[in-house]
Structure 1
Amino acid sequence: MSAPGGIEYTRVRDLRGPLMVVEGVSGVGWDEFATIVLDSGERRHGLVLEVNRDLAVVQVLEDTAGMDPGGTRIAFSGTPLRIPVGTGWLGRVCNGRGEPADGGPPVLGSVDAPVGGAPINPVRREPPTEAVLTGVGAIDVLTTLVRGQKLPVFSAAGLPHLQLAVQVAAQATCGGEAFAVVFAGMGLTHADAAFVRDGLAERSAAGELVLLLNTADDPVIERLLTPRLALTVAEHLAFEEGRHVLVLMTDMTAYSEALREVSAARGEIPARRAYPGYLYSDLASLYERCGRIRGRPGSVTVLPVLTMPAGDITHPVPDLTGYITEGQIVLSAEVHAGGTYPPVDPLGSLSRLMRKGAGKGRTREDHPPVAAQLIAALARAREVRELADLVGRPALSAIDRRYLDLEDAFLHRFLAQGTDEDRPLDEALDRAWDALLTLPPSQLGMIPAALLDAHRAAGDDHPGGEGTPP
């Protein structure tokens, strides 16, 4: 790819980490795509980060290692980076730059699209109304994911967030409608990358998956490009091909650290914890590309996964992510230590759009009241457990002891699930009822009486049913 008029620049003033400073440029703009040719004939690629008079700062996607300033030629394309888009991406495994990693040919498409993309115009956004079912009971019942939503997973080192992301990517469905998953892995170890490929092999073979994997030893700039490539591919599959697309991006903390590294190389003034001051707007430029567009088929739903350093939810990455997104799924070290998978913290988790996609005509009529009652009961159970630690279980009232029973039932009958178990929503809701019915009816005031009577009768009618205990 060459610049307009075939102009090539050879005056490289400086190489600094992943950045190259080119002088003597003219007519070059921000975010232009550049082709870099080394003395050996090797080609690398870059994007213009900044232009000041006749100087251009270029971030090199493959890094600047081994480059000789005196023998390097740079050509600017005159346009931002564009990639071919279309159904040719489905079933492919590529690196973080979109180059094949599965031994196949380059991905081709009928049209090209700019990688930078743009947030959806709020005026054209279609309100979310339907759920994306993940096959993970705790998510589907308590923090229902809605088409077009952005719902992050907050985790910490040592918790099985990658395992959960792979399980969701392998199981998620959209009620029988055309569906696809785009999985973007950033800063993964080679063992984790292999785990992702193995776990999603079946979905990839079915032509329902796009896999982009950036490993920890890949260039840092590639890590900044990976989620943008994923969203560009997803947007075309959704709004042009009519599919409902789920985009999983893990780990957004690795992405943010790459952004911090590039910012430091540019000599920018750091903000909180040395992250650049534009971290919020940069994350928003990714998350806000999801949604539904009025008059267009399909949807883009985003499930970013991030690790909180030292489990600190006030760290800049989870803190800013929480401001941009519509809730969060929080993983608990305490639940994980108890041997329960997935270790979701129900009281720390929230889906702000859940009521838009749950209930009669969408999931099940009893879904919203059961979820609300279960959360309220678990909050009371936590208070009772803290009291029991002080005064001992025998000193608790009979009702308080029932709340402790409910907490046990929640962990073992509802929350606990196999790592490859695809749990239907009906079964997950029935398990939620089983847990709730360990309490007497007087404690279930958030559930309509008719629903409560029907489910108590159903439990009593089946041998071994989970009706209300005597």
Structure 2
Amino acid sequence: MVAHLQQLLRHTRVEQIVGDVIRLRATGVALGDMAEVENTDGEVSLARVIGLDQNLVSLQVFAGGKGLSTDATVRFLGRQLDVVYSPNILGRIFRGSGEPMDGGPDLSGDPHVKVGGPTVNPVMRVMPTKMIETRVPMIDLFNCLVESQKIPIFSVAGEPHNNLLARIGFQADADVLVFGGLGLIFDDYHFFRTAFEEHGVFGRTVMFVNQASDPLVERLLVADMALAVAEKFAVEENKRVLVLLTDMTAYADAMKEIGVAQERIPAVRGYMGDLYTQLAQRYEKACDFKGAGSVTILTVTTMPGDDVTHPVPDNTGYITEGQFYLHGGILDPFGSLSRLKQHVIGKSTREDHSQIMNTMIRFYSEAAEAQRKQAMAFELSSFDEKLLKYGGLFRERFMDISVSMGVTEALDLCWKTLAECFEPQELLMKQHLIDKYFPKLAVPSPTSEE
């Protein structure tokens, strides 16, 4: 009853405006409730309750606090934030407020789904056993992306992480693609939209975009909207959904700014003490649902100063199941890790996958050592020369993120590369696999005297 009355009451005494946050006194309001703020000039903006201190309510104004008067009128709507959900949202682009920004047909009459909410009951989760083929060799061969996995791309500013994320998006074996852009500059937004359109996946894609010039609070809502829609597609439509979010560091920075506006006491490097909890609540939406589809989450997390101990990547590493480490324009095989790859390698892929993965990385590690010996002018053995040749081929054929090939094709190319550089007995692999897959033409033919 009190909450209902709050919807009818118009509060006209805004006590404080700090940046995009306004404070006033009200009762019967819940955390996360939506409100309408009408300025003295008649302009109306949405706001969301982000803090409660007894009867002192803090609201984040979507349109920002610039030009807002303390005489503004606030009306609480008595509901949480929701977002439109139906098959009609595929091929559409939405703002962080949930409103369409592509000029398409009106969707206000379509069903809506509540944003946020708890993660899935553990008894409804299925053990991950299916691989998502991305056609990126450094992922498919060495650190497989598994359905229902949550995994970030660790990168630094200037690295082509958006190119990699887009490539995975339009090449990945998934039914639905949900993209969330967090604080994107226009060029990046245009790049993602164009990439999805040109590669024919836009019709099964829904985009939620917060640009750098958009209100800060919408940046925090994009991830929740994307995940709410993804969960609906997975549970109700039995779809295999891939969620792409970039950049989670911008997301964390937005939380920090709002925390400062709320006069909260910061923890490490200015970030709030609940950073881990806030990130985990989003990442834990990844799930393979029993009797339904799945949600897989792939994000970009930029590391300021290439510092992996920075609070955002540091906390992320504890939550997620590995990381793809993008360094120097390539996916670093030594910094990358997928903790779920053992569930699919050799099971949903070919029998030689495990042996090939280990052998290729072992030789590349030795090639890196041989390269250091060469740089320091040490004498190289004949085997070192083979390793140097192998290292060059490995970088050219597999490490470039623009390389695209299926996992079976990539495994065959691995055998071809090994055969061009080494003898079969030098591989130290299971003999039956060598007999079956090692290119026969690469084996020296016996002479007539033999």
Q: In structure 2, which of residues 229, 238, 244 is the aligned counterpart of residue 242 of structure 1?
A: 238
SS at match of 2:207: strand
**Aligned pairs for 1:21-32 within 5 A:** 21-23=23-25, 25-32=26-33
**Aligned pairs for 1:138-157 within 5 A:** 138-157=138-157
Q: In structure 2, which of residues 407, 416, 424 is the aligned counterpart of residue 441 of structure 1?
A: 424
| Cα shift at 1:436 | 3.0
Q: 1:76-123 deviations in whole A, cap 9, x for unaligned?
A: 233321222222221101222221111113435754322113222223
Distance across 2 between alignment mates of 1:9 and 1:457: 78
**Counterpart residue identity of residue 14, structure 2:** V
The question of 1:349 aligning with 2:349 is answered: no
Aligned 8 A contact 1:93 1:212 in 2: yes
The question of 1:380 aligning with 2:341 is answered: no
Distance across 2 between alignment mates of 1:366 and 1:265: 56
> What number of residue pairs does the alignment pair up?
440
SS at match of 1:280: helix
| Cα shift at 1:223 | 0.7
The question of 1:368 aligning with 2:354 is answered: yes
TM-score normalized by the length of structure 2: 0.93
| Cα shift at 1:417 | 5.5
**Counterpart residue identity of residue 406, structure 1:** Y
Q: 1:364-409 deviations in whole A, cap 9, x for unaligned?
A: 22222211222222222223322333343xx122222222222111
| Cα shift at 1:143 | 1.2
Counterpart for residue 135 of structure 1: 135
**Counterpart residue identity of residue 35, structure 2:** A
| Cα shift at 1:291 | 1.0
Q: 1:23-69 deviations in whole A, cap 9, x for unaligned?
A: 1x111121212222222332211221121222101112221122111
SS at match of 1:247: strand
**Counterpart residue identity of residue 380, structure 1:** E
Q: Please say which of residues 302-311 and 4-13 is displaced more in the overlay.
A: 4-13
SS at match of 1:373: helix
- 1:417/1:30 Cα in 2 relative to 1: closer, same or farther (>3 Å)? closer
The question of 1:19 aligning with 2:18 is answered: no
Distance across 2 between alignment mates of 1:352 and 1:168: 19
**Aligned pairs for 1:228-377 within 5 A:** 228-295=224-291, 297-333=292-328, 336=329, 343-360=330-347, 362-377=348-363
Aligned 8 A contact 2:177 2:206 in 1: yes
Aligned 8 A contact 1:231 1:247 in 2: yes
Q: After the TM superposition, list the runs of 4 or more consecutive aligned residues in structure 1 that deviate by more than 6 angstroms.
A: none
**Counterpart residue identity of residue 456, structure 1:** F
- 1:205/1:374 Cα in 2 relative to 1: closer, same or farther (>3 Å)? closer
Aligned 8 A contact 2:24 2:58 in 1: yes
User: What stretches of structure 1 of length at least 5 have no aligned partner?
Assistant: 337-342, 462-470
Q: In structure 2, which of residues 409, 414, 435 is the aligned counterpart of residue 427 of structure 1?
A: 409
Distance across 2 between alignment mates of 1:109 and 1:348: 48
| Cα shift at 1:412 | 1.1
Counterpart for residue 65 of structure 2: 64
The question of 1:456 aligning with 2:434 is answered: no
Distance across 2 between alignment mates of 1:235 and 1:458: 49
| Cα shift at 1:460 | 3.4
SS at match of 1:126: coil
Counterpart for residue 55 of structure 2: 54
- 1:285/1:417 Cα in 2 relative to 1: closer, same or farther (>3 Å)? closer
Q: Please say which of residues 197-206 and 264-273 is displaced more in the overlay.
A: 197-206
**Counterpart residue identity of residue 331, structure 2:** V
Counterpart for residue 41 of structure 1: 42
**Counterpart residue identity of residue 64, structure 1:** G
Distance across 2 between alignment mates of 1:68 and 1:85: 35
SS at match of 1:432: helix
Distance across 2 between alignment mates of 1:303 and 1:152: 6
The question of 1:222 aligning with 2:218 is answered: yes
Aligned 8 A contact 2:415 2:438 in 1: no
Counterpart for residue 180 of structure 1: 176
Counterpart for residue 197 of structure 1: 193
| Cα shift at 1:310 | 1.4
**Counterpart residue identity of residue 423, structure 1:** M
Q: 1:137-180 deviations in whole A, cap 9, x for unaligned?
A: 22111111011001110111111001111111111114xxxx01
- 1:204/1:215 Cα in 2 relative to 1: closer, same or farther (>3 Å)? farther
Identity %: 39
**Counterpart residue identity of residue 393, structure 2:** A
Distance across 2 between alignment mates of 1:327 and 1:377: 23
Distance across 2 between alignment mates of 1:95 and 1:436: 49
Aligned 8 A contact 2:145 2:338 in 1: yes
Aligned 8 A contact 1:88 1:108 in 2: no
Aligned 8 A contact 2:91 2:206 in 1: yes
Q: In structure 2, which of residues 373, 380, 384 is the aligned counterpart of residue 400 of structure 1?
A: 384
Q: Please say which of residues 147-156 and 32-41 is displaced more in the overlay.
A: 32-41
Aligned 8 A contact 2:164 2:401 in 1: no
SS at match of 2:390: helix
Counterpart for residue 169 of structure 1: 169
| Cα shift at 1:221 | 0.9
Distance across 1 between alignment mates of 2:189 and 2:110: 29
Distance across 1 between alignment mates of 2:423 and 2:256: 54
